[in-house]
Amino acid sequence: MSVVRGCHVHALFGRSIRWISERAYFAVLHAYVTSYGYSRQLDLTPYLDELPRFRFATWKWTAPARLFTGRETAPGSQSV
């Protein structure tokens, strides 16, 4: 095992940064966004690692805006 002194570490670090920057021809300028499970009825919590955990997802149930107008009888009820 070798021990490197602090001044040598800075020199080696500077050389390595210079070597990398001379060969860096491009840099990533955008992020790739992935959308999965996009629906207002789906309750899916996003996680930082971007892995969709569909086993924890649930469907939101919303009642229809209007089941019946009130003039007709509801299904299964008796009209008097």
- Reported pTM: 0.34
24 part of a folded domain: no
**Total domain count, the chain:** 1
pLDDT tens digits, 26-59 = 777 777 777 777 788 888 888 888 788 889 989 8
**The predicted structure's pLDDT at residue 15:** 94
Is 45 in contact with 53 (CB distance < 8 Å)? yes
**What domain range includes position 50?**
39-64
Q: How far apart, in whole angstroms, are the C-alpha atoms of residue 67 and residue 7?
A: 79
Alpha-carbon distance 17 to 13, whole Å? 6
pLDDT confidence of 20, banded at 50, 70, 90? confident
With respect to residue 48, please indicate whether it lies within any of the assigned structural domains.
yes
Q: How much is the average pLDDT of 6-25?
A: 88
